[in-house]
Amino acid sequence: MTSTVNPSTADPTTANTSPANASPANAEARPDPHAPAAGDLAQLLSPDGERGAHPLLDDWAGDIDDTRLAGLYRDMLLVRRIDAAGVALQRQGQLGLWAPAEGQEAVQIGITRACHDDDFFFTSYRELGVLVARGARPADLVLGWRGEVFGTFDPYDLHVATPQIIIGAQTLHAVGYAMGVQRDGGDQVAVACFGDGATSQGDVSEAMVFAASFGAPVVFVCSNNQWAISEPVGLQSHLPLAGRAPGFGIPSVRVDGNDVIACTAAMRWALDHARSGRGPAYIEAVTYRLGPHTTSDDPTRYRSADEVALWRTRDPLLRVAGVLRERGLLEAAEAEAEQAAAEFTAGMRRAALEATTRPPLAVLDDVYAEPHTGIDRQREQFSAYLEGFADDEEGTR
């Protein structure tokens, strides 16, 4: 008998779990005998700050002592402050859009800090923490959201591909890169980051087919933040998303995505599996998007204030802050993060305010090397469209 619990309103330690997910057939399909049943939720730090144990992850978290935990907390707090600055810049009209990451910092920082410097990320538009942890500059985070020319970073500087807007497409790119690493005889791992909504896209399934068939060194990281814009994950899948991977022959683990220790440990396990030649691995990180899908979204139209309040009690920063406070390490960690955030966000504001935006028609200037009649027609149509706004502006004066 299967469970149809909606994880948006249920405790993440029990949501969408079912004994059917731990069937012998699934267990036999997984090449890694140490991978847990997909319905299990791995947790090493509870919302109350209690350090726990897990048979798969304990060996991968033994070196995460108080000092390392303070470093992870600094990273997460820095990302939260940068995220708030991005939202503010969009509200002030400096950015066209922003995709908030509030609530998902533990996943993003945990998986990034577990990687080698040359492991290559393929992300969606929400993995702000990956970019920050990989050394992105303030301008790298804002110019793209302004639609500026040369508004992105060099992927080879950060070992992060240009964030993908097409839902789920980056999983194919990650597998292709991993297969290239395979053929070059390298030891890099490709990391594909996507959300629960992307798991319904064919690209993700196709990526897992190729990854499993060729034993590609790739880690799939699904941040299950409970909502694909306004669609709850329970409508897409009545069972945990981690349970899909074993069907492709890919071992998976389902972790508390608000537990930065568990996320780091799970990623270390997955990276070791992929890097050692055993093929792809899959992580479902159960977390929550505390803010809107993007700054153009109004989440109050589809989810309740009580639901958000419940998940705020599971805030990934709060549980670590409690531990550090008891150890006398919180004040120093916060001060360091706030100083770094002040400098970084000031750089974001400068980058936005000092950006030189080309006239709208200039978007058509470099489409072809030579004059083209099709572009001429588009220029005429776009010019007429823009003139309509000029009339509106004149009428408001």
> Which residues belong to the active site?
289, 293, 302
What are the Cα distances from residue 336, in Å, to 63, 74, 256? 22, 7, 27
Cross-strand bridge partners of residue 222: 194, 284
How far is it, in rounded angstroms, from Cα 331 to Cα 335? 6
Decide: 304 and 275 in contact? Cβ < 8 Å: no
Helices (H) and strands (E) in the chain, counts: 15, 7
**Count of residues in the chain:** 397
Neighbouring C-alpha atoms within 13 Å toward the C-beta of 118: 6
Phi and psi dihedrals of 117, rounded to 5? -60, -30
Place of tokens 């390490």: 329
> Hunting for tokens 């933040």 — which residue is that?
225
3-class secondary-structure state, position 186: coil
- First-to-last alpha carbon distance for the chain, in angstroms, is 66
Q: Are 254 and 40 in contact (CB under 8 A)?
A: yes
Could you tell me where the beta strands, DSSP code E, fall in 10-162?
120-122
- Using CA atoms, how far apart are residues 228 and 231, in angstroms rounded to an integer? 5
